[in-house]
Amino acid sequence: MIPIPVVVCVLGGWCAVYLLDTALRSSPSVKSSYESWLSANGLSLSPFHIRWHTSLFNRLFARCAHFNPTFLYLWFSAGMVFGVVAMFGSVVLLSRTLMQTLAQMMAETPEGSHEQVLQVVVPGVNLPVSQLAYFFVAILVSGLIHEFGHGVAALREQVRLNGFGMFMFVIYPGAFVDLFTTHLNLISPVQQLRIFCAGVWHNFMLCVAAVCFLLLLPLLLFPFYYTGAGALVTEVVEDSPSSGPRGLFVGDLVTQLEDCSVKGVEDWHSCIHQLAHQPQSGYCVPTATLQLNRAAGRAYKRLDGTMECCSNSSLTDLCFAYSSNLESKLFACLPARKTIQASRTCRTNADCQTGFSPSLCVIPSLENQTRLIRVKHAPQADMLFVGYPSHLQFSVSLTNFVPRLGFLHLDLPVMLETLSKYLVSLSGALAVVNAVPCFALDGQWMLTAFLEATLHSLVPEKSSRELLGFFILLGGSALLAANVALGLWMVTAR
């Protein structure tokens, strides 16, 4: 959940701003000058909302609108086609998402939520508080690019731009463009459609640019960071199974999990998934060592049916199961690190018959679903992890990028990767949601212009076209509201 201090700071900050604004407006001596200052700077305040409007960037918008007329015509025409397709596609996507959400609500366990393309995001619930900065920066950048598309498209279609602005609603930032409505109503429906579709088109292209940046990031950072050597540890959760004197540390390069090679973060997750779903691997131990530590008489069953043969207070020894030609199932309590460190992995006794001394394959006797995993991070000694593989996976943060020089920050590539991923997801979501034929969104104006452009000859009466558009907007609004409401319920109530 969202930390209470963060909630208190946000609410306290807005209350302080509102009280200060009220006090200044109520003071006879400063009211006039204060309101004049707000008006001159394009600022307006209301509870939990601050808005800034300016015409300083009008010249920049105008220059962009006259950059290359032919290119811009093709650019925004492509955006118009994309916007129309996205308008219909968003309805299909929201319908599918709604069906998936309803299916999860009816199920005993909410499985398959990762398959949904769209999900409701609640900071502090399904969005880590540590990543709020990326979230809000991505929202702001996506909003700026969205409104930039509207502004440039409007000026290209000879619609006057009154100004540009930004706002903050509670903690969510945003942007807007102020267009001259009279000019907008005078141009043709196709021209209007180019303007209304420009926002979602630019959000889509921002997604494409962010994806390209992610793919090219190893090449862009090649002079400073290299990849393919392993997974570099950037953070270890305190008091987790991966911490401690024999655990992992920031800056360690993980190269292997058991006999699974790790070249990067994807290999790390793949190896953990593989180890979690495969039987526990064993280790080749000389027969003489096993005879000295044989513990068949002291072995006993745990509650889950597995066998234990070591003292419960032992922190260094582990119970191993093995079989010989004479006896089917034997157990030995062995020092885990000494046994594993100089041993190779095996599945059966046949895998251990390559050496000069006779050896047997011993397999750790652990509780169900727990695993013994040997993590190689040279030059330090191997870390021996005993527990659920998922605990190992989520207690360590890693990156593919290893700095070539000591003064380079470990987190820089991670920050660039994370911000790019948020831009892809949030800009894409903004494109999809804004394309929905819904009241107060771009989809409302896109649908109106589309119906005017395509049904003018088929449905001559404007009132009939408006009525058709109203019912479509009503259905789209209900679909979006249902997705948001059920999505919030799934995130917060389950």
What string of pLDDT tens digits covers the 494 residues of the chain?
556 777 888 889 989 999 998 999 888 888 889 999 999 999 999 888 999 999 999 999 999 999 899 999 999 999 999 999 999 999 999 999 999 888 888 776 555 555 566 777 777 677 777 788 899 999 999 999 999 999 999 999 999 999 999 999 888 889 999 999 999 999 999 999 999 999 999 999 999 999 999 999 999 999 999 999 999 999 998 888 888 888 899 999 999 998 899 999 999 999 999 999 988 989 988 887 777 766 544 678 878 778 888 876 667 888 888 887 666 788 888 888 888 877 888 888 888 887 667 888 899 988 888 999 999 998 888 899 988 998 998 899 999 999 998 888 888 999 999 999 999 999 999 999 999 999 989 999 999 999 999 988 888 888 999 999 999 999 999 999 999 998 888 877 65
Return the structure tokens found at 194.
């180019």
Return the structure tokens found at 435.
């394309």
| Cα 435 from Cα 446, distance rounded (Å) | 8
SS3 content of the chain, % helix, strand, coil (to 5): 50, 20, 30
Instruction: Please pick, among 111, 147, 452, 466, the residue that the annotation labels catalytic.
Output: 147
Closest CA relative to residue 196, chosen from 179, 208, 182: 179
* DSSP 8-state secondary structure symbol assigned to residue 93: H
Are 41 and 35 in contact by the 8 Å Cβ rule? The answer is: no
Beta bridge partners of 330: 322
Helix, strand, or coil (residue 399): strand
Closest CA relative to residue 387, chosen from 272, 300, 476: 272
Interhelix angle for 442-454 vs 189-220, to 10°?
A: 130
What is the CA angle 189-192-198, rounded to 5? 140
Are 206 and 147 in contact by the 8 Å Cβ rule? The answer is: no
Predicted structure pTM score: 0.83
Beta bridge partners of 364: 320
Closest CA relative to residue 130, chosen from 19, 271, 237: 237
| Cα 157 from Cα 194, distance rounded (Å) | 9
Rg (CA), the chain: 31
Concerning whether 147 is annotated as a catalytic residue, the answer is yes
Compute the CA torsion angle 384, 389, 390, 396 (nearest 10 deg). 30
